[in-house]
Amino acid sequence: MKDFTPVIAAAAAFAVTALLGYIVIPYLRKLHFGQTILEIGPKWHKDKQGTPTMGGFMIIAGVLLSLCIAYAYSAAAGGRFALEMHDGYRLSVFLAGILMALLMAAIGFMDDYIK
């Protein structure tokens, strides 16, 4: 039997991110979390005026939720992903990857917030 955990994780990440985008982007526009463009920049940058910022958290939420869904699917189906998480080394690498993603999200948040 094939392990479809990566496919499930990718589909879940896409679905969660798309759903959050559908809900959150209008809310960000309502709060005026839009990008401001300076006059000194190129003229074609004016089209970006008002583009919502702070949307990166939707991607992080999609990734984290898809990892939870993938783990639950793998555990229910007896897949490799859930079994490998019981190994201390692989679990630490997995958690280090999540920590790095969260740190990059924090940097992106600070960048958007400062703008």
Q: How many domains are there within the chain?
A: 1
For residue range 32-72, list pLDDT tens digits in order. 776 666 667 676 666 666 667 777 888 888 888 888 888 78
Residue among 60, 70, 66, 68 at smallest CA distance from 24: 60
Determine the structural domain holding residue 17 and report its residue range. 5-114
Q: Is 52 helix (H, G, I), strand (E, B) or coil?
A: strand
Residue among 52, 54, 60 at smallest CA distance from 100: 60
Q: In which band, very low, low, confident or very high, does the pLDDT at 80 lie, cut at 50, 70 and 90?
A: confident
Burial of 113 (0-12, 13-18, 19+ CB in 10 A): exposed
Q: What is the model's pLDDT at position 97?
A: 79
